[in-house]
Amino acid sequence: MNQILEYPDLWRDALVGTLVLFFGGGLIALVLGFLIGAMRVSPIPAARVVGAVYVNWVRNTPLTLVLFFFAFAVPLLVTVPRGSFLMLAVIGIGLYTATYVAETLRSGINTVPVGQAEAARALGMGFTQVMGYVVLPQAARSVIPPMMSVFIALLKNTTVAAGFGVVNLGSIRANMSEKGENQMITILLVMVAFVVLVLLLAWLQRVLENRWRVAR
CATH, residue 106: 1.10.3720.10
Report the pLDDT value the prediction gives residue 4, as an integer from 0 to 100. Answer: 66
Taking the C-alpha atoms of residue 158 and residue 17, their distance in angstroms, rounded to an integer, is: 9
- The structural domain count of the chain equals 1
pTM of the shown model: 0.85
Mean pLDDT over the full length of the chain: 84
- List the domain range (segments joined by +) for residue 180: 2-215
Residue 212 pLDDT greater than 60, yes or no: yes
Report the pLDDT value the prediction gives residue 22, as an integer from 0 to 100. Answer: 95
Give tens-digit pLDDT for 165-204: 888 888 888 777 777 777 788 888 889 999 999 999 999 9
For residue 91, CA distances in Å to 26, 79, 154, 187 come to 10, 16, 13, 27
DSSP 168-189: STTTHHHHHHHTT--HHHHHHH
* Least confidently predicted of 2-6, 86-90, 99-103, 135-139: 2-6
* DSSP letter assigned to residue 83: T
Categorize the per-residue pLDDT at 216 as very low, low, confident or very high, splitting at 50, 70 and 90: very low
Taking the C-alpha atoms of residue 174 and residue 170, their distance in angstroms, rounded to an integer, is: 9
